[in-house]
Homo-oligomer: A and B are copies of this chain.
């Protein structure tokens, strides 16, 4: 029995009827079985691809991407995932588009979706805005579909919003699952999700939030560490605490990086901006207050600079479990002496973990493909079995 058939049989047992024709905003919207289904399909698609089986679901169709911020990894992951399933990516480049001043999201959403099967949106710049944009967009498609404007209602993959970064965090988690030899081995593992110093300013909070909102579901001991003033969204902390209570792990907070790293199995040191400051920035942008924005930036850079000791140094790594915690990062990292004078991580640490870091990233295309697959294929287990049994090759000759 092939790995894919084994995975398909596991999939058959999961209660995932709600996934079909549904969107993916946040991991905490999804049941444990739904997340399991995504990991299962991701692994199956990878197995099929490795064995040169075709995994095309679509003969034609479009995946619409909207990147309201620069992106390489997520852009290529989305393109790869769409291509693997037979969709062509059409990017809505707002600079080349005739989106009128004051044009509603509702109008744009419908205009780009006439033949779209999937929408991928990255909008992570402004607290309180990113998710709202995605929700408004997809609500407009609900209306468009029920009004008969659209023949199909495309499904959303959240490619990063202000609240969660589910394709990243699920790729991170699938990497950990494989690294530790199975999801059952994660129970009791200590994860340090910690802030780290970067000379740049205003990095999104969606990764730390996504990590504490997801990893706490695995029975792990998740520690969120940051200097005072670098709080994340309280709503997400609440979710993390509830998850931990329900799943037999823990969720704790500390203002000490050392404490978080102590005896950790996994560390995820990464810069982000303080939640409150990001709220302030959103308001300044809405008011068009450029002076205010500049002043805020200066204040935040100065605030950051007080915490240069928050860095994933060799010394810090030595405090982890046997000095060998698995180091995670969503990339690109700010590497001390490479990309900046002083950054998130020592270059010797980064270099030692380069291969696992790249593997971590390699799961993202499959996570996205699995999200699309489960929202678009009515009987996913059957489809995987057919692909496994079929004669269609990805590469002929």
Hey, which bits of chain A sit against chain B, CB under 8 A? Answer: 46, 49-50, 54-62, 67, 69-73, 75-77, 79-80, 83-86, 88-90, 92-93, 96-104, 106-108, 110-112, 114-115, 117, 144, 147-151, 331-335, 338-340, 354-355, 358-359, 361-362, 364-365, 376-380, 382-383, 386, 392-397
Contact = CB atoms under 8 A, between A and B. Distances in A.
Nearest to A115: B80
The 4 nearest A-B residue pairs measured at CB: A102-B339, A100-B332, A383-B397, A80-B115
A265 to B, nearest CB: 22
B395 A100 contact: no
Looking at A76, A85, A365, the one whose CB has the most chain B CB atoms below 10 A away is A76
Nearest to A369: B115
Contacts of A333: 100
A60 B58 CA distance: 11
Given A56-B60, A355-B147, A67 B83 contact: no
Contact of A102 (B58, B86, B335, B379): B335
Contacts of A54: 59-60
B49 A358 contact: no
Nearest to A73: B111
Pick the most buried of A50, A114, A148, A150: most chain B CB atoms within 10 A of its CB: A114
Contacts of A335: 102
Contacts of A377: 397
A92 B333 CA distance: 20
Contact of A59 (B77, B102, B144, B395): B395
A112 B76 contact: yes
Given A96-B67, A332-B98, A358-B110, A151 B59 contact: no
A6 to B, nearest CB: 19
A361 B211 CA distance: 41
18 contacts: A46-B151, A49-B151, A56-B396, A57-B395, A57-B396, A57-B397, A59-B395, A71-B97, A71-B98, A76-B114, A80-B114, A83-B88, A89-B90, A100-B334, A107-B332, A148-B355, A148-B359, A150-B362
Contact of A386 (B100, B115, B380, B397): B397
B361 A376 contact: no
Nearest to A106: B354
A130 to B, nearest CB: 16
Contacts of A58: 394-396
A107 B380 CA distance: 34
A255 to B, nearest CB: 28
B99 A394 contact: no
Contact of A62 (B80, B103, B150, B379): B80
